[in-house]
Amino acid sequence: MSDRSKAVAVALFALSPTYLLADVQKRKRDPAGRTMLIRRRNVVYLVTGMILAGIALVVTRHGTGRPPWSTWWPIMAPIAWYLQSRCHEIFLAFYFDAFDKLRPGLEPSSTLEWPTRVRLALNSYVELTLDFSVLYAMLPADMWQKGAQRPGMFTDLLTYSAMTITTSGGGGFVACHPLLQLMSTYEVFCGLLLLVVSFTIYTGRGLSERSGN
């Protein structure tokens, strides 16, 4: 492995270890094997996001920002790293895949059909909403604007995440900390990528191939 490849691998591991793991696993498989791997990982990660959201719903029943990082950071830090890794992986995977589909003459790396790609994108869209809501739940409550606009339960954060990713607002909640504002902006970009780019390209290519037949 060249020095440049090592540097890219280290950067990918720091940014998204799950993306690097998926890339390594896919390189060892043929197109049919990659298809099975992609579909299996998509479902497993979606279920994991649902489980973590359920746990967050229980542990934040007395208010957001609990349990505090100062007490539970050995458990919360790996979970936060995993969640941000998945958010980065979804963004990178669909970004590269969507624009690869616009390059003429490029051989597909898997046997995924267009309806399946749309379903995978939809699953990832739901997972992103859950993952971001759990990340928001880990942040201190004082990162939100004081008063009625401060979320009090995990369902408030789930609403905020769902409305943010669709770029339709924050459900009445206002982020006042730079970190929270940055996360919210990044979620908007992820939502735009999946909604505008991936869904449009996948649906358009699928319909064009169907009409061509």
DSSP conformation letters of 135-147: HHHHS-GGGBPSS
Question: Would you state the pLDDT for residue 108?
Answer: 66
The residue written with tokens 């490849």 in the block is: 5
Residue 174 is classified by DSSP as -
Task: Report the C-alpha gap between 104 and 109 in whole angstroms.
Answer: 14
Question: Would you state the pLDDT for residue 8?
Answer: 59
The residue written with tokens 């064009």 in the block is: 208
Which residues does 192 contact at the CB level (< 8 Å), separation at least 6?
A: 167
| Crossing angle between the packed helical segments 31-59 and 154-165, to the nearest 10 degrees | 140
The residue written with tokens 């895949």 in the block is: 97
CB 205 within 8 A of CB 114: yes
Count Cα neighbours of 86 within 13 Å in the Cβ-side half-sphere.
Answer: 27
Question: Would you state the pLDDT for residue 208?
Answer: 66
In terms of C-beta density within 10 A (0-12 exposed, 13-18 middle, 19 or more buried), how is residue 140 classed? middle
CB 104 within 8 A of CB 205: no
Q: What is the pLDDT along the chain (213 residues), one digit of tens a residue?
A: 555 555 656 676 778 889 888 888 888 888 888 899 999 999 999 999 999 999 999 888 766 666 677 677 788 899 999 999 999 999 988 888 877 777 766 666 677 787 888 888 889 999 999 999 999 998 888 888 876 567 888 888 999 999 999 877 766 788 888 999 999 999 999 998 888 777 777 777 666 666 555
Q: What 3-state class would DSSP assign to 175?
A: strand
> Which helix (DSSP H) or strand (DSSP E) does residue 129 occupy?
helix 114-138
Report the predicted TM-score, pTM, of the whole model to 2 decimal places: 0.87
The residue written with tokens 């920002």 in the block is: 65
